[in-house]
Structure 1
Amino acid sequence: MIALIVKQTCNLSSASKALPIKCLPQSFYRRIQRFFAGQYFDYRQISQLIFNIFSFDKVQLTLDRTNWKWGKRDINILMLAIVYRGIAIPIVWTLLNKRGNSDTKERIALIQRFISIFGKDRLCCTNLSVKAFSAI
């Protein structure tokens, strides 16, 4: 974890060269891979950590989706993010098991996950579709 912080990247190849250790960078790279492969990340706690780091009170949300191919596999992520100083900070997301756009039900489910973690009172305004937001 220190190597990731020192290099300020989540690129494991770059992080493997960050610390003065007595093994080859390739060995350290593989060690980092094994560490992350065996870890369980509680995404609810990660969302709360992000929220607390920035000391958010009321937030504006934005919804985005990205889709790309990894070999023959489609990677399709629906992301709910907090708008902060001109950037979007991912806070809650879901992997869609399909190509293409999300549907209203999937968007509502993502917003409901945010509300279950942080509550409706944390929302100040949103640029989400009126239909999706009013259905909550």
Structure 2
Amino acid sequence: MVPTPKSHSRPVKQRLIAKITTVLQHVPLVGHLSRQKFVAQFVIGLIKSRNVHFCEVAQHLNDAAKPTSNETRIQNFFRDVELDYLVLVQLLVSLLPATGKLRLCLDRTEWDFGQCQVNILLVTVGCGAWHVPLYWELLDNRSGNSNAAQRIAVLEACVALLGRERIGLVLGDREFVGHVWLK
């Protein structure tokens, strides 16, 4: 019987955590090794849960801990750690194919968070079936559509991050009408 390398005997989840942690050691997103491992676990939890709600991600974070403990850990991380979102976006973009055209999707969403109404203009980037958030702006208005100046601002930020030559298509639903901002 041929002995299997140590990396093949470890569960897939542990190998993924180790790979993501290695990537994070070369990116100035979070400094401490324990936080890098947490981010790796959180990314895997996001993928497995297909959800962004902390209580759902907590179900997939650390199998050795109770989901309530995992949820508390997630909350503490986001309360205590200040993330550099530009570094995060650059990391996400580096995961996209290095060549070929990318698709930008523009969307506006709003919801109530307690007494506060949240209105966000969001751009995702991707190719094929998967997209990642690239850039977003909180809109000042309490509700309603974005204006041409706001759309121009978010798309200019995306062009600065990706380069005009990488963008093959910009999509948005019927609320994003207008020739001025598309030019």
Normalization by structure 1: what TM-score? Answer: 0.78
Amino acid in structure 2 at the alignment position of 1:74? Q
Deviation of residue 81 (structure 1)? 1.6
Q: State the partner residue of 2:103.
A: 60
Deviation of residue 47 (structure 1)? 1.7
SS of the counterpart of 1:32?
helix
Find out whether 1:132 has 2:132 as its counterpart. no
Matches within 5 A, 1:1-136: 1=38, 2-7=40-45, 8-9=48-49, 10-17=52-59, 18-21=62-65, 25-57=67-99, 58-86=101-129, 88-98=131-141, 99-127=143-171, 130-134=179-183
Contact preservation (8 Å) 1:64, 1:79: yes
Deviation of residue 86 (structure 1)? 4.3
Please give the alpha-carbon distance, in whole angstroms, between the structure 1 residues aligned to 2:93 and 2:44: 22
Computed over aligned residues only, the root mean square deviation of the Cα atoms, in angstroms, reads 2.4
Identity of aligned residues (%): 26
Task: Kindly indicate which of the two structures has a greater share of residues assigned to strand.
Answer: 1
Contact preservation (8 Å) 1:68, 1:76: yes
Q: Which moved more, 1:118-127 or 1:32-41?
A: 118-127
Contact preservation (8 Å) 1:3, 1:15: no
Please give the alpha-carbon distance, in whole angstroms, between the structure 2 residues aligned to 1:39 and 1:11: 18
Q: Which runs of 5+ in 1 are unaligned?
A: none
Contact preservation (8 Å) 2:123, 2:154: yes
Count of residue correspondences: 132
Normalization by structure 2: what TM-score? Answer: 0.61
Please give the alpha-carbon distance, in whole angstroms, between the structure 2 residues aligned to 1:25 and 1:83: 31
Choose 1 or 2 for highest CA Rg. 2
Q: Which moved more, 1:58-67 or 1:12-21?
A: 12-21
Please give the alpha-carbon distance, in whole angstroms, between the structure 2 residues aligned to 1:83 and 1:16: 26
Which has the bigger relative contact order, CA under 8 A and spacing at least 6? 1
Q: Which runs of 5+ in 2 are unaligned?
A: 1-37, 173-177
